[in-house]
């Protein structure tokens, strides 16, 4: 219809009308492009919000499991120190590392051990040898990585923090597989020589006597406490990183 009008006006040499027709065409195209761009931007913003909410959900789950794992590590340190003291040995009060790392300070101070309640007095060996090794809730982050579409997250600091956080988790998981679990298994094996199992109860006095008479038991319990202190410190640091990310993503979601 508009094309016929323009053709008619050209034939009539009504240049004013031709000009107005062209303005209408250009303006219509411009408005169409702007509407399309607005729709694309709105769709992308909605998608970003969905991605951020999914990331937040995973991070909150991470924070919960890391808190539980940190508590388990602290219980392991505490139980090991009580057994060492009960055996007439010095407890672990500090763990020092000569090599700097991204997870902990070079020196980790261990608090004063606390005796378990009377109804848990037979659980010391179980607490020494049992640990929680959490894994990352990373479905949303992995989906983002697989899509190769980090650009959907507009806050570039959030993207950098997510990548850093993923690296921290990778290192922690490697420590689980290469250090903590293997030594836990070794500790359980040493205890088995004395008929011990992480799943049976043993009175503290009986356990302490076994440890007092066996230097190998003394060594594995002390080392377990040291590893547990390092493990707990690493998990606590990772939980702090998760909380920083939660707050940053919440701020990005609100903007």
- Residues with Cβ < 8 Å from 247, sequence gap 6 or more? none
CB burial readout 10-43, b (16+ within 10 A) else e: eeeeeeeebeebeeeeeeeeeeeeeeeeeeeeee
Q: What is the pLDDT of residue 145?
A: 82
Are the C-beta atoms of 215 and 67 separated by less than 8 Å?
A: no
Q: What is the pLDDT of residue 156?
A: 86
Number of neighbours of residue 97 by Cβ within 10 angstroms: 13
Query: Which residues partner with 111 through β-bridges?
Result: none
* pLDDT tens by residue, 213-240: 999 999 999 999 999 999 999 999 999 9
Q: Is residue 96 within 8 Å of residue 113, measured between CB atoms? A: no
Distance between CA atoms of residues 91 and 102, nearest Å: 26
Q: Which parts of the chain sit beneath pLDDT 70?
A: 1-45, 97-106, 255
Beta partners for residue 96, in sequence order: 107
| pTM to 2 decimal places | 0.79
CB 117: neighbour CB atoms within 10 A?
Answer: 8
């Amino acid at each position: 219809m508009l094309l016929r009008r323009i053709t008619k006006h050209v034939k009539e040499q009504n240049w004013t009308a031709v000009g107005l027709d062209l303005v209408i065409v250009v303006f219509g195209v411009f408005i169409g492009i702007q509407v399309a761009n607005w729709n694309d931007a709105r769709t992308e913003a909605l998608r970003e919000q969905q991605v951020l909410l999914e990331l937040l959900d995973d991070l909150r789950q991470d924070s919960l499991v890391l808190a539980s794992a940190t508590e388990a590590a602290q219980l392991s340190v505490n139980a090991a120190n009580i057994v060492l003291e009960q055996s007439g040995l010095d407890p672990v009060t500090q763990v020092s590392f000569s090599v700097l790392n991204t997870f902990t300070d070079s020196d980790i101070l261990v608090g004063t051990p606390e005796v378990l309640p009377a109804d848990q007095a037979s659980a010391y060996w179980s607490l020494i040898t049992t640990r929680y090794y959490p894994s990352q809730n990373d479905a949303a982050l992995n989906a983002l990585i697989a899509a190769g579409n980090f650009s959907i997250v507009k806050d570039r600091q959030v993207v950098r923090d997510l990548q850093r956080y993923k690296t921290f988790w990778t290192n922690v998981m490697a420590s689980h597989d290469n250090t903590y679990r293997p030594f836990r298994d070794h500790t359980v094996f040493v205890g088995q020589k004395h008929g011990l199992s992480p799943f049976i109860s043993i009175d503290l006095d009986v356990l302490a006597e076994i440890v007092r008479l066996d230097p190998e038991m003394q060594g594995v319990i002390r080392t377990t406490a040291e590893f547990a202190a390092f493990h707990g410190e690493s998990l606590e640091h990772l939980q702090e990183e998760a909380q920083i990310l939660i707050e940053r993503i919440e701020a990005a979601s609100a903007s």
